[in-house]
Amino acid sequence: MPLEMNREVFITCAVTGSGGTQDRSPHVPRSPKQIADSAIAAAKAGAAVVHCHVRDPETGAPSRRLDLYREVTDRIRDAEVDVVLNLTAGMGGDIVFGGVEAPFPVAEGTDMIGASERVAHVAECLPEICTLDCGTMNFAEADYVMTNTPGALRAMGQMMTDLGVKPEIEAFDTGHLWFAKQLVKEGVLAPNALVQLCMGVPWGAPDDLNTFMAMVNNVPDDWTFSAFSLGRHQMAYVAASVLAGGNVRVGLEDNLWLDKGVLAENWQLVERAGTIIENMGARVIGPAEVREKLGLVKRAPVAS
- Listed by start position, the domains of the chain span 8-294
pLDDT digits (tens, 9 = 90+) for 198-228: 999 999 999 999 999 999 999 999 999 999 9
> What is the overall mean pLDDT for the chain?
96
Q: Tell me how far apart the alpha carbons of residues 236 and 245 are, in angstroms, rounded to a whole number.
A: 15
138 DSSP β-pair partners: 145
Amino acid at site 303: A
CATH 3.20.20.70 fits 8-294, yes or no: yes
Q: Tell me the whole-structure pTM to 2 decimals.
A: 0.97
Output DSSP code: residue 233: G
pLDDT digits (tens, 9 = 90+) for 100-145: 999 999 999 999 999 999 999 999 999 999 999 999 999 888 899 9
User: Residue 262 half-sphere exposure, CB side, CA atoms within 13 Å?
Assistant: 8
Q: Tell me how far apart the alpha carbons of residues 256 and 26 are, in angstroms, rounded to a whole number.
A: 10
H helix runs in the chain, sequence order? 32-45, 66-77, 115-118, 120-125, 150-163, 174-185, 209-216, 234-243, 266-279, 287-294
pLDDT digits (tens, 9 = 90+) for 160-186: 999 999 999 999 999 999 999 999 999
